[in-house]
A and B are shown apart, each in its own frame.
Chain A
Amino acid sequence: MLQGNNLECMRGDRVLFSGINFSIKPGELMQVRGPNGSGKTSLLRMLCGLAVPNSGEVSWNGSDIRSLGEDYYSVITYLGHLSGVKDDLTTIENLCITSALAGVEIDKKTACEILQKMGLEKREALLAKVLSQGQKRRVALARLLLVQTKLWILDEPLTALDVSAIELIKNIIERYLAQGGMVILTTHQEINITATVTHQLYLS
């Protein structure tokens, strides 16, 4: 269970948000909404441990994530604005390396199958720099099919994706939620994801 207690974020002396409280249990979804510049990305970076809240704490099963360190990183998957796809590596190399970094070592055959599921067949041996933005995003999202973590933190996962890819991601997230996963995501698009409980968090 992930809990945020009284989280506050400052940019210079401006308070971006404060007093954010929430808790998410297995099978639940939290959508973070708010206009540009309201601190959605800052909040998500706090939740995955990349940034430290100015006050308050984020806790996983009751303990502060700062003290858990790598034990916490092994149960979460974070997908940020920057997709982490290397232009000079092929699609398949990108997937193998990012999933190895996430602790799942896969062979080329598995990687090919995953890329096919993401609609990237015949693109396996291409350098990522020749792919379109949407295709790069698909490569980054392919990791979701491999990792076995308990919490996904997705920052704008749907940017640059076409309708069929959005549908695909929606299905992946729904299946994951049904299996007891937790998802926190930000998106500007309207998307209806079925979950047992959907929390809405508004930042203004």
Chain B
Amino acid sequence: MSKLVLKNVSRRYGTFKAVADFSLELAKGEFVSLLGPSGCGKTTTLRMIAGFAPPSTGTIEMDGQQISSPSGVVPPERRRMSMIFQSYAIWPNMTVGENVGFGLQVRKMSRAEIDRRVDAILDVVQMRNLKGRYPAELSGGQQQRVALARAIVVEPEVLLLDEPLSNLDANLREEMRFEIRRLHDEFKITTVYVTHDQSEAMVTSDRIVVMNKGRIEQVDAPHVLYGRPRSRFVAGFIGRTNFLEGTRNGSDVRFDGFTAPAVAVEGANGPGELLYSLRPQAVGLTTRKPGGPGLAVEAEITGRAYLGEYWDYQVRPLGGAKPIRVSTAPTSIFEVGSHAWLEINPAAIVRVE
């Protein structure tokens, strides 16, 4: 049975539709991210799951029981969930130990039991030695760990995270992503994670829900989302991509400067000009004509940028007008103006809407 089920949930503020027709099922122990630009409705969705807002239409169920509907909402304090807030919401008037122990205290556990569990979870997040400190004496990353410990120690049915890393600096953010995933692997708590950062979502999640303007664009595992984006929005939002216009011409699809067999290109069956996505990483760049199974297209280097981890080349097929962006290893160097060969795997060209 699914742990958490959202059925046709929507949320309106006046005439503005913050979330529209949102349906999703989470398996027990699954880690799902809601990913999208700010204002796309992901935080609103999370707050509906938490019980801070009722849905305008639709229902939310946990373990088969309805917890939210337009006519009534189980209040947040009775949902047995926990949440990590964007601001962490660590209470500055309580020590680390008191913060973490709060939820257990509410659950009327004995003092000794609370102590034992608090110490255990503080060990997990490596904060045991700071138990007596006040939050103002902690760094951002340490506060984040306290928030994690406080949320996990109560063994919630569902863990909700609202952009938990957005206030950290870049290095710490990277570290904490793995920390969150590690904790998930250890405790197997069903988790909904809201973020606007695609790499955060990709590192942590089993599945990613890409949202745009209150609607779901696509729900898939990270690698599928990247390799097989289904809409222009997803292709553009997750990573970088080339948008190519292609027209069906008999058994071929004709692109700007090259053609590909239609059978090899996914979704190339409609008439007229259609839009396709081709990831810069899916294209090879060689000095000699490649002998592999892919398409070989002779091209001219029109621009380049060195980004340390890779080269970002702009390469124009000789018969075409617009350059294609290609990422290569930092060791493969081509001069601007020189000729080279593109190696394109037609299966990497994906039709998008």
Partners in one complex: no
